[in-house]
């Protein structure tokens, strides 16, 4: 019983209550894993047969760590505990019982690529439009159906589902679902969702099997219960129905996976299934400082649907939470990188003490660029580097081929993407013919009739002419206009736009973010050459992969907030706190969705141990259009006493200053007007710099700026009138930071700026 001495009273009570239904509400950083570990170890110490204990987790890593800890406390018998993810445990059961539902015991488990391949074949065989019936969309629809235990028969017979499908022009989804299920069955295969779906089917149709496992698993524990979906909920409920020795552990405030089917009602309504439930609350946060915990509490208190708890910390108060305001997403990346650089240098911190969290993957671009400029090593957690994502590499390959048509790797990547009827056989023939004739594949493409039949040659020739047209336009257009033209006329932009799945939308946003970066590059005043080819040279220096695969490498971590759940860092930067970004625009139509976004913010804040920084930008580019952004409503929900504003607010009120009109030295007043709760923001100003170009004063002529001083009023041919804020550097490379009334702050190299002193 020595292991109990290291637990606080609430943790001890949760460990010792081994009989009957138990719910442990575990606040962030409250020692949840320790409680689960010791509770299972305590069961074994009491004499419970380890074969009769089932522990369900959401990650294999969590299961491995728990098993090691339990064995350390309870001894080698703990290795016999049934412990693992939902999918791994039920796959093990299905291996034993599969014949009862018509599957071989050695059934194959299809991964995502396998499933997509099957769906591609079905859609092709049914002669359906593969754009309308995009495989990612179809797969997500089938997955959602299985997780809600909707069979293909029920799918086809449900009038609401059918009405929705036919109204969107996808009336054959039900038939695709049927064919997919039959194809998998004939192949003796289950996909990832089937491991839960088929387990439910097995327990529902074979009472002997249900009874067998009800009696085998006398004690059940479920970690991260707030993340369970309907299918998982039903399996657990059936298995626990006889002995009722079920313990669920979770935190409703960290339920952030509704998009994957998780249902927060499972934890909110757990007591309805078990009236004799005993509830224990783990409220002491051992991870974060008092200020960070207080901020998290003030955020989550705005949610109506929650299990009340009073999370507290006995650690020092710590630094106040810094809030940084940037004029653009690029400046936000620069400010974040500089803050990390300074603390690394001044406080002796390691790079892996820092994490940057964002709402969407597309936001990583400006963060990566800011870090690279200061030579700060970083890694993308749970995803690829921005410039290594497929859609980015695809478009960049078009750029590469435009400037160097002999680039064979770029050619192979894009010659049939988007699909244009040039298959692998044709590509192979081009490459082989080029080798035999000692010419480049590009030369074969522009002379296709010498190597291919007439029909194929015509298709290949059209591709060649398209690339040649790109070569012409890049000589006359700016970097941004060239890039946008290529993205549009290659068909890539259209292909991604038509993919309405979650993955498709993310890819489309990433392309938009790349174009944003090119737009800003093309407007830089400190560069004499700003063509797309120069941008490509810069990109080539940004895309070297980090060859160090060591997970403990000393690098700053970049990740989405969803990917950060379960992790912790001494310092955390949460970036992009703006309306329509965080909370996302899609979440503003319902209170339920908005509350999940707020829980996501809560998760982000509680990743920080000692220091938390939050930032937002007052403008972002979207496809070449400057969008004025307003601070997130979540900032307004934080108690101002815990904040340190990294900017000067005029007439800051006693409460929160974020939406205070009088502080608008940096933007128009209506930019910061507070949105109504749970409704889409409608007052964001969209301003195209090109559409609203400044008209220079008649007779405009640049002044001699050798005597320019801070505070002077100036005029720029494009940006209009502004005021000089700072002057940095030495002649001839003095940089001026100027606030322009129309477009905000810009940093210009004086020798190229062409300013008129007013």
Tell me which residues are annotated as active site. Answer: 32-33, 223-224, 254, 607
CB 84 within 8 A of CB 112: no
Q: Find the DSSP H helices in 657-747.
A: none
CB 512 within 8 A of CB 366: no
Q: Is 529 exposed, middle or buried (0-12, 13-18, 19+ CB in 10 A)?
A: exposed
Nearest alpha-carbon partner for 380 in 555, 506, 544: 555
Q: What residues have CB less than 8 Å from 491, skipping those under 6 apart? A: 418, 420
Q: What residues have CB less than 8 Å from 140, skipping those under 6 apart? A: 501, 502
Tokens of 454: 């007439």
DSSP β-ladder status, 321-326 and 608-617 = parallel
Q: Is 33 annotated as a binding residue?
A: yes
CA distance 452 to 422: 11
DSSP β-ladder status, 22-26 and 278-282 = parallel
Nearest alpha-carbon partner for 609 in 360, 361, 349, 363: 349
Q: What residues have CB less than 8 Å from 239, skipping those under 6 apart? A: 54, 203, 213, 214, 217, 220
Q: Is 32 annotated as a binding residue?
A: yes
Helix (H, G, I), strand (E, B) or coil at 280: strand
CB 714 within 8 A of CB 696: no
CA distance 358 to 373: 20
CB 74 within 8 A of CB 83: no
Integer CA distances (angstroms), 507 to 144, 336, 493, 544, 585, in order: 21, 25, 10, 21, 17
Q: How many Å separate Cα 552 from the centre of its chain? A: 22
What strands, in cross-sheet order, belong to the sheet with 713-716? Answer: 744-749, 735-740, 720-728, 713-716, 756-757
Q: What's 618's DSSP letter?
A: S
CB 249 within 8 A of CB 226: no
Q: Find the DSSP H helices in 17-81.
A: 32-45, 60-74
CA distance 724 to 733: 16
CB 266 within 8 A of CB 86: no
Q: What's 327's DSSP letter?
A: S
CB 18 within 8 A of CB 244: no
3-state SS of 235-289 is: HHHHHHCCCCCEEEEECHHHCCCHHHCCCCHHHHCHHHHCCCCEEEEECECCCCC
Nearest alpha-carbon partner for 254 in 600, 591, 594, 559: 600
Helix (H, G, I), strand (E, B) or coil at 505: helix
Tokens of 553: 């490498």
CA distance 636 to 468: 53
Q: Is 27 annotated as a binding residue?
A: yes
Q: How many Å separate Cα 581 from the centre of its chain? A: 12
CB 543 within 8 A of CB 365: no
Q: Is 26 annotated as a binding residue?
A: yes
Q: Is 29 annotated as a binding residue?
A: yes
Q: Which residues belong to the annotated binding site?
A: 26-33
Q: Which residues belong to the annotated binding site for ATP?
A: 26-33
């Amino acid at each position: 019983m020595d292991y109990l001495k290291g637990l606080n009273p609430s943790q001890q009570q949760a460990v010792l209550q081994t009989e009957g239904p138990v719910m442990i509400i575990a606040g962030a950083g409250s020692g949840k894993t320790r409680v689960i570990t010791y509770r299972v170890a305590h069961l074994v110490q009491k004499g419970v047969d380890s074969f009769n204990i089932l522990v369900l987790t959401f990650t294999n890593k969590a299961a491995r760590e728990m098993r090691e800890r339990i064995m350390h406390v309870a001894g080698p018998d703990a290795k016999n505990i049934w412990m693992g993810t939902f999918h791994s445990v039920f796959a093990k059961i299905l291996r034993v019982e599969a014949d009862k539902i018509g599957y071989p015991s050695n059934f194959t488990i299809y991964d995502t690529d396998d499933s997509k391949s099957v769906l591609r074949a079905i859609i092709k065989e049914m002669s359906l439009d593969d754009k309308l019936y995009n495989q990612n969309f179809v797969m997500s629809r089938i997955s959602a159906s299985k997780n809600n235990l909707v069979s293909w028969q029920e799918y086809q017979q449900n009038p609401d589902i059918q009405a929705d499908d036919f109204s969107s022009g996808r009336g054959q989804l039900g038939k695709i679902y049927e064919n997919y299920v039959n194809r998998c069955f004939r192949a003796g295969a289950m996909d990832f969702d089937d491991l839960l779906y088929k387990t439910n089917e097995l327990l529902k149709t074979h009472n002997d099997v249900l009874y067998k496992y009800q009696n085998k698993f006398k004690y059940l524990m479920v970690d991260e219960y707030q993340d369970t979906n309907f299918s998982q909920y039903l399996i657990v409920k059936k298995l626990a129905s006889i002995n009722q020795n079920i313990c669920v552990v979770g935190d409703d405030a960290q339920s952030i996976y509704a998009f994957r089917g998780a249902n927060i009602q499972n934890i909110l309504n757990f007591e309805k299934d078990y009236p004799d439930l005993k509830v224990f609350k783990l409220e002491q946060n051992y991870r974060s400082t008092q200020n960070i915990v207080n901020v998290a509490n003030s955020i989550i208190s705005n949610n109506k649907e929650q299990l009340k708890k009073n999370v507290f910390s006995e650690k020092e108060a710590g630094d106040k939470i810094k809030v940084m305001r940037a004029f653009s997403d690029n400046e936000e990346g620069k400010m974040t990188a500089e803050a990390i650089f300074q603390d690394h240098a001044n406080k002796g911190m390691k790079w892996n003490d820092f994490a940057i969290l964002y709402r969407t993957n597309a936001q990583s671009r400006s963060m990566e660029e800011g870090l690279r400029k200061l030579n700060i090593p970083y890694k993308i957690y749970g995803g690829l580097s921005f410039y290594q994502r497929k859609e980015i590499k695809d478009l960049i390959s078009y750029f590469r081929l435009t400037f160097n048509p002999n680039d064979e790797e770029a050619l192979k990547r894009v010659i049939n993407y988007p699909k244009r009827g040039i298959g692998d056989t044709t590509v192979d023939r081009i490459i082989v013919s080029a080798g035999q004739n000692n010419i480049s594949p590009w030369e074969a493409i522009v002379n296709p009739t010498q190597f291919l039949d007439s029909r194929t040659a015509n298709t290949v020739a059209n591709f060649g002419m398209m690339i040649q047209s790109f070569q012409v336009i890049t000589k006359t257009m700016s970097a941004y206009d060239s890039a946008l033209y290529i993205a549009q006329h290659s068909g890539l932009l259209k292909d991604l736009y038509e993919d309405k799945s979650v993955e498709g939308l993310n890819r489309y946003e990433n392309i938009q973010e790349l174009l944003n970066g090119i737009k800003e590059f093309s407007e830089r005043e400190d560069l004499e050459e700003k063509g797309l080819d120069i941008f490509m040279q810069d990109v080539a220096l940004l895309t070297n992969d980090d060859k160090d695969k060591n997970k403990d490498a000393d690098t700053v971590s970049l990740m989405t907030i969803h990917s950060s759940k379960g992790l912790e860092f001494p310092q955390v930067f949460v970036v992009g706190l703006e309306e329509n970004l965080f909370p996302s625009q899609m979440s503003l139509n319902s209170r339920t969705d908005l509350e999940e976004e707020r829980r996501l913010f809560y998760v982000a804040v509680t990743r920080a141990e000692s220091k938390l920084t939050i930032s937002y930008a007052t403008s972002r580019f979207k496809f070449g259009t400057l969008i004025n952004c307003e601070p997130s409503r979540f900032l307004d929900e934080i108690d101002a006493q815990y904040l340190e504003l990294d900017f000067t607010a005029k007439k800051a009120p006693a409460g929160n200053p974020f939406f205070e009109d009088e502080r608008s030295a940096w933007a128009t007043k209506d930019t910061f007007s507070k949105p109504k709760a749970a409704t889409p923001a409608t007052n964001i100003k969209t301003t195209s710099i090109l559409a609203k170009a400044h008209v220079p004063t008649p007779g405009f002529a640049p002044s001699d700026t050798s005597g320019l001083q801070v505070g002077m009023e100036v005029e720029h041919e494009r940006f209009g009138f502004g005021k000089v804020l700072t002057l940095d550097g030495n002649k001839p490379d003095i940089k001026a930071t100027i606030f322009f009334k129309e477009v905000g702050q810009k940093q210009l190299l004086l020798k190229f700026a062409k300013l008129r002193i007013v």
